[in-house]
Homo-oligomer: A and B are copies of this chain.
């Protein structure tokens, strides 16, 4: 009996985690859930725009007219994804497209007047979304969390 125990212990020392793998403790899984929660909070405050669409408008407000590809880089979207997002924003009249004079490959994107109005109107809501997402944490915890999260992203 004690012989079996010792054998088990030896095995455990070599592979202490072989038996239990707890999905709900893995970063990836919790990261996915935290992201889901944020998207849900976002949707509750801004129903007619998705987070990626909002990101595109907010970044265009920052940098002004840019190429579609460059915008994608700035908001961490690959070319295929950003195209869909911009197409839908264009269909709603929030951005307008034009051809680059010099480099004919580039498709320039810019806010329309309506798009600018929309993003200015939505930013206060976005601040509230950030607040609500972080509400489970204290001010000090928020500072710590944001610092560490930034390291992972």
Contacts and interface: CB of A to CB of B under 8 A. Distances in A.
Interface of A: 17, 21-23, 25-39, 42, 51, 55, 58-59, 61-62, 75-76, 123, 126-127, 129-130, 133-134, 136-137, 141, 144-146, 148-153
A149 B27 contact: yes
B137 A148 contact: yes
Contact of A76 (B36, B39, B152): B36
Contacts of A144: 144, 148
A123 B42 CA distance: 34
B126 A21 contact: yes
Contact of A146 (B30, B59, B137): B30
